[in-house]
A and B are shown apart, each in its own frame.
Chain A
Amino acid sequence: MKLGILINEGPYQHQASDTALQFVKSAIKKGHEIYRVFFYNDGVNNATRFATPPQDDRNITKEWSALAIEHNIDMVVCVAAAQRRGILDKGEAERNGKDSDNIEEGFRISGLGQLVEAGIQADRLITFGD
Chain B
Amino acid sequence: MGEEAIIKKFMYVNRKSPYGTIYALESLEVVLISAAFDQDVSLTFTDDGVYQLMKNQKTEGIGMKNFSSTYSALGDYEIKKIYIDKESLEERGLSISDLQELVWEDEDEDYAEKSSINLVSRDELSEIMNQQDIVMSF
Spell out A's residues near B (CB within 8 Å).
6, 8, 40-41, 80-81, 111-113, 115-117, 119-121, 125, 127, 129-130
Contacts and interface: CB of A to CB of B under 8 A. Distances in A.
Contact of B37 (A6, A116, A125, A129): A116
Interface string B123-138: 0000000000110111
Interface residues of B, number: 18
12 contacts: A40-B26, A80-B29, A111-B33, A112-B29, A113-B33, A115-B33, A116-B33, A119-B10, A119-B134, A125-B134, A127-B137, A129-B138
Interface string B23-54: 10010011001101101000000000000000
A64 to B, nearest CB: 21
Contacts of B8: 119-120
B51 to A, nearest CB: 17
A41 B23 contact: yes
Closest 7 CB pairs of A and B: A112-B33, A119-B134, A116-B34, A116-B37, A125-B134, A120-B6, A112-B30
A41 B29 CA distance: 11
Contacts of A127: 136-137
Given A40-B26, A116-B39, A6 B136 contact: yes
